[in-house]
A and B are shown apart, each in its own frame.
Chain A
Amino acid sequence: MSKRLLSVVVNGRVREDAIADHALLVDYLRDTLGLTGTKQGCDGGECGACTVLIDGEPRLACITLTATCAGAQIETIESLAAGGRMSRLQQAFHEKLGTQCGFCTPGMIMAAEALLRRNPRPGEAEIREALSGNLCRCTGYVKIIESVQAAAEA
């Protein structure tokens, strides 16, 4: 089990850690950095709960080797609220009840964040496509769509 020194930027902070070759990004974020906002809901690539942004693109941390992230910018749910304010998406998911149990929420919001950055005024079909890899078992998705729409209009 070899390790190498890895440098990444996580939520704007430069991190240097010795990372095992087989270490998954979700475990690095949760166990090494204590960023437990990123969730694991499956055995790999099934549910989307671990969605984070790597260089601005939505990626599944549970099937990403940390070693492949050298030099990358990683953003997790913990990065979105800034200056004492929730992001537009966070505010909308809270106020419109886009979250119930909350377990899929960080992944859902990060996938929606990636969408709004590349398409600030998405149509309903575009929202559905962008979130199609994120499973929610509570809401039936109705209020998730409303939340993303509200954030886009805010």
Chain B
Amino acid sequence: MDQPVRHAQHTIGSRTPLVDGIDKVTGRARYTADLPFGETLVGAILRSPIAHGVIRRIDTTKAKAIPGVRAVITGEDFAAPYGVIPIAQNEWPLARDKVRYRGEPVAAVAAVDEATAQAALAAISLDIAPLPAYFAAADARGDGAVPLHEKKLGNIEREVDHVFGDVDLGFAQADLVREQTFHYAEVAHGQIELNAAVAEYEPERGRLTTHSVTQVPYYLHLTLAQCLGMDSSSIRVVKPFVGGGFGHRVEPLNFEMVTAALARAAGGAVKLELTREECFLTHRGRPETDIRLKIGLKKSGQITAVDCEIVQRGGAYGGYGLVTILYAGALLHALYKVGAVMYRGFRVYTNTPPCGAMRGHGAVDVRHAFESLLDSMAHELRLDPFALRRTNLITPPHRTLNDLQVNSYGLPECLNWVEQASTWKARRGKLPRGRGFGLACSHYVSGSAKPVHWSGEPHAVINLKLDFDGGITILTGASDIGQGSSTLLTQVVAEVMQLPMQRIRVVATDSALTPKDNGSYSSRVSFMVGNAALRAAESLRRVLVDAAAKRLEVSPDDIEWLGECARVSGTDRTLDFAGVVNAALADAGTLTVKGTWSTPKETQGGTFRGAAVGSTAGFSYAATVVEVVVDEDTGAVRVERVWVAHDCGRAINPLAVEGQVQGAVWMGMGQALSEETQYHEGLHLRPNMLDYRIPTIVESPPIEVHLVESLDPLGPFGAKEASEGAIHSFAPALTNAIFDAIGIRLNDLPASPDRVLGAIVARQREERLRRAVAAAKG
């Protein structure tokens, strides 16, 4: 009873290294390809050399006859097609009947070694009758174009037509109306870990275990059951360490189902590792996008109306496509107060690798268009870009025109900080030619308020296990893919229970152990799983307080919970943690308590078609200022410095939030400056890390981060998302800065040296022509 009282721990708000960081820096962390499985077969995939065609025959006879080949499969070996969206499932793990892009998987083998597997692939003969193929959205939509999919005339996967308010009136009330078109190259996630899966099939029991690189083990679990025609209770999905995702691994990916089907066909264990080239072909990146945008402004800068049309080249299959085209409209305008909005969106099927979700899903390109046109119109109206934004700020709680709920809004503070930190007022307009400043704002969801697979169950569930060793184990289906979610959950539980983090372990994402979770995408984990962890910890704390009260023979109201110790208020009677645990478990045995969380109804969006996309329980906000130097002789753009303020509600782990914000800004920079995929007749021309130009450490600038804590009323401890909000504002801040530097607006990204130089040369030509005409007239 005379134990020294340990003081309460505070973990929320402290800069906390990752709970699995030591594993990563020592090389002990095991990723999928590192796992020891004993003897496994080698899986390999045969891919279509044709961009669009009818499969007449796949002859696997010779491949099957090669010694050491244990399985050869085709599309006929699957029970059903798949797709991440339940209403758009039109993809087979291996193509059936038709191929729709160059590099699409058509057959697969499992063999005793790599050389035998490759020999088997070479021995498969394909007979594919080519069809006309379309590599641009405009061609796929053209008259008489052959539909890639049945019942999809004009190759339109999804058309969106949304009108909110009186758009004609809004433009009539405007003092300045401007319209501009924009073009964005397709980009890819480029996570450094190559895709890999290991599937073990037990023929005796008819059970499958799959280890994979997935961000959402639950989607993979559902899809494996569906494509293999198995009961999902016979399948176990485990997510080891994952080397980044950025959206690439949200959807179940063809190679994961292929590996499982090979393991079943071979009756054993199969490991399938994709090359970097195959990772690019698996794709699911941000689509090539064309935007036409019209904005009406009052002289004050007030936005009276917005009219936007977007065409996305979606690639060959549905995937996330309809969500991407809906996000583009939903997040077009909702960070400002606007008078009226019209949005038309077209998601188009083409004979290119399927696009999907990528960090800032659907909203990055449209944010560039919007913030660029605002900047250009501010220039025309002689308004400061900050002043224009401030004219259109909203006051929470606020319902946007498209029925999105805003409960916290730190954008004003974000603007204030980047303005001051960049010394905008003192320096802008006084910089030498070739050097410029640009501003842009952005926002993003903290998880989709309505998940895609949902029958009304809680959005997030956390189990906490307390055992006789005095340790607490967090059992979660949330995938830590490097963003630090396991650390965040540990901090939340430690804070509520006032315990040292050392006492807490995390077991993440093994479907045999952890509760179902919707996974790591749309920045949902901090908000949703964080809330579930908060509630689970409160519940376990109540159990411990009650047990201590019983043991100390007082009312629970008389117990002061000091974390490692319970004390009877106003006395020196205490029970140490071991005693509390013993009291709690003596009668019940090992305990598991649960915490759940769901989004409130009012955050789930409106009732119009497509209203769920964009709805969230909490929006993050960001403002970014970029300083650039442009070399007018070469077109090279160098980012000198970036200042970014991000409203994350509350920084549960400021160290990790900073890291997320820096990573988001930098990924935005890659897309803005150098990254683009490229195809020739459907053949990927840049399927490697040299031709697909991810910025190196040499061209990456200092990124100064400021965190704004707006304390969201629904977020755990007020927290909102931190990983995606800031990616959107980089590209427009960059091109606005390029305009400030050299007076040229780049509406075609990336702003690679050839494009910048092209724009400079075009302007010089125009100036010469103008002078010549003037001279001729004069």
Asked if B241 is an interface residue, CB under 8 A from chain A, the answer is: yes
* CB <8 Å contact, B703 and A138: no
* Chain B binder among A2-10, A53-61, A64-72, A102-110: A102-110
Whether, in the assembled complex, A74 has its beta carbon less than 8 Å from a beta carbon of chain B, the answer is no
User: In the complex, what's the smallest C-beta–C-beta distance from A118 to chain B, in angstroms?
Assistant: 18
* A141-B666 in contact (CB<8A): yes
In this assembly, does B68 line the interface, its C-beta being within 8 Å of a C-beta of chain A?
A: no
Q: Are A39 and B31 in contact (CB under 8 A)?
A: yes
Specify the chain A residue showing the minimal Cβ separation from B36. A34
Nearest CB on B from A60, distance (A) = 12
Considering only CB atoms, which chain B residue lies closest to A90 in the complex?
B25
Chain B residues contacting A37 (CB-CB under 8 Å) are: 26-28
Complex: how many Å from CA A78 to CA B24? 11
Of B148-156, B450-458, B521-529, B694-702, the one touching chain A: B694-702
B507 partner residues in chain A, CB cutoff 8 A: none
**A43/B482 contact (C-beta < 8 A), A102-B24, A103-B244 known:** no
Contact yes or no, B482 A135, CB < 8 A? no
Q: Is A40 an interface residue (CB 8 A)?
A: yes
Q: Chain B residues with Cβ under 8 A from A105's Cβ?
A: 24-25
Does B662 make an interface contact (CB < 8 A)?
Answer: yes
Chain A contacts for B275, CB-based, 8 A: 43
A46 in contact with B21 (CB, 8 Å): no
* Closest residue on chain B to residue A45 by CB atoms: B690
- The distance from the CB of B555 to the nearest CB of chain A, in whole angstroms, is 44
The reply to whether A137 and B26 contact each other, CB–CB distance below 8 Å, is no
Check B31–A46 contact: CB distance below 8 A: no
In the assembled complex, how far is the CB of residue B665 from the closest CB belonging to chain A, in whole angstroms? 6
Contact partner of A106 among B27, B242, B655, CB < 8 A? B27
**Residue B90 CB within 8 A of the other chain:** no
By the criterion of a CB under 8 Å from any partner CB, how many residues of chain A are at the interface? 55
Interface of chain B: mostly helix, strand, loop or mixed: loop
User: If the complex has contacts A36-B34, A97-B659, are A103 and B243 also in contact, measured as CB distance less than 8 A?
Assistant: yes
Q: Given contacts A86-B22, A140-B666, A140-B703, is CB(A101)–CB(B697) below 8 Å?
A: no
Asked if A116 CB lies within 8 Å of chain B CBs, one says no
Chain A contacts with B in 11-36, Cβ cutoff 8 A? 30, 34-36
Closest-by-CB residue of B relative to A142 is B662
Residues of A near B194 (CB, < 8 A) are 40-42
In the assembled complex, the Cα of A102 lies from the Cα of B34 at a distance in Å of 13
CB distance from A36 to the nearest CB of B (A): 4
* 1/0 contact string of A114-150 vs chain B (CB within 8 Å): 0000000000000111011111111111111100000
Chain B CB within 8 A of A152 CB: no
- In chain A, positions 56-96 with a C-beta closer than 8 Å to chain B are 76-78, 80-81, 86, 89-91, 93-95
Choose from B241, B276, B656 the contact partner of A102 (Cβ within 8 Å): B241
Contact, CB under 8 Å: A138 / B244: yes
CB pair A101 B698 closer than 8 Å: no
In angstroms, Cα B193 to Cα A104, docked, is 8
CA distance A59 to B421 in the complex (A): 41
Q: List 11 A-B contacts (CB under 8 A).
A: A38-B27, A40-B33, A47-B276, A49-B192, A91-B25, A95-B17, A97-B18, A102-B241, A103-B191, A137-B663, A142-B702
List B residues at the A interface (Cβ < 8 Å): 17-18, 20-31, 33-34, 36, 189-194, 241-244, 246, 275-277, 481-484, 655-656, 658-659, 662-663, 665-667, 669, 688-690, 694, 696-698, 700, 702-703
Pick the 5 closest A-B CB pairs, nearest first: A37-B27, A101-B482, A140-B666, A102-B24, A103-B243
User: What residues make up the interface of A, taking CB atoms closer than 8 Å to B?
Assistant: 30, 34-43, 46-47, 49, 76-78, 80-81, 86, 89-91, 93-95, 97-106, 109, 127-129, 131-145
